[in-house]
Amino acid sequence: MTAEIFIHLDCQQLELRDSPRSLRSFPVSTARNGPGETTGSECTPRGRHRIRAKIGAGLPIRSVFVGRRPTGECYTPQLHEQFPDRDWILTRILWLSGLEPGRNRFGAVDTARRYIYIHGSPDDLVTGFPDSHGCIRMKNADILELFERVDCGTLVIIR
């Protein structure tokens, strides 16, 4: 399949397309600080990206990642209580890389160096409202489905 992903910031939706057909739509939560490309802004970068890496294949649902590495933990409400300030990255990671030099690639606007992902999150944090630190948060079952349907190199358009 030649899939493409469109992330609609205005309605907090991720759309999987096989152009021109829409295949599936998922609720997401993007950056609390809104759209933006600058390193340190905690904003979601706009424009054309690609999936640089797929991380977490074969791990259990709700596996916890820190620094793109599984910790061996599986998320529970009790784990959340133990680490209330952790930015929960769960289940699977689709690491993005910008395709537009000066907008979301290279220098102070580089999406990959900002570690911007599409990733699983505690399901109650995917509210349909902007609330992340720049990444695109998805419910765990949704990121599992998306992960299986896309490849490295898949085009991701954030607008």
Identify the pLDDT of residue 121: 97
The separation between the first and the last C-alpha atoms of the chain, rounded to the nearest angstrom, is 23
- 145-156 burial: b if 16+ Cβ within 10 Å, else e: bbbeebeeebbb
Gap between the Cα atoms of 2 and 8, Å rounded? 20
The mean per-residue pLDDT over the stretch 124-140 comes to 94
Q: How confident is the model at residue 19 (pLDDT cuts 50, 70, 90)?
A: confident
The mean per-residue pLDDT over the stretch 140-148 comes to 98
Evaluate if residue 144 carries a pLDDT over 80: yes
Task: Please tell me which residue, 128 or 135, carries the higher pLDDT value.
Answer: 135
The mean per-residue pLDDT over the stretch 97-110 comes to 98
Third-level CATH fold of 4-158: L,D-transpeptidase catalytic domain-like (2.40.440)
> For the chain, where are the E strands, in sequence order?
4-8, 13-18, 21-27, 47-55, 63-66, 69-74, 89-98, 117-120, 136-138, 155-158
Evaluate if residue 42 carries a pLDDT over 90: yes
Domain ranges (residues) in the chain: 4-158
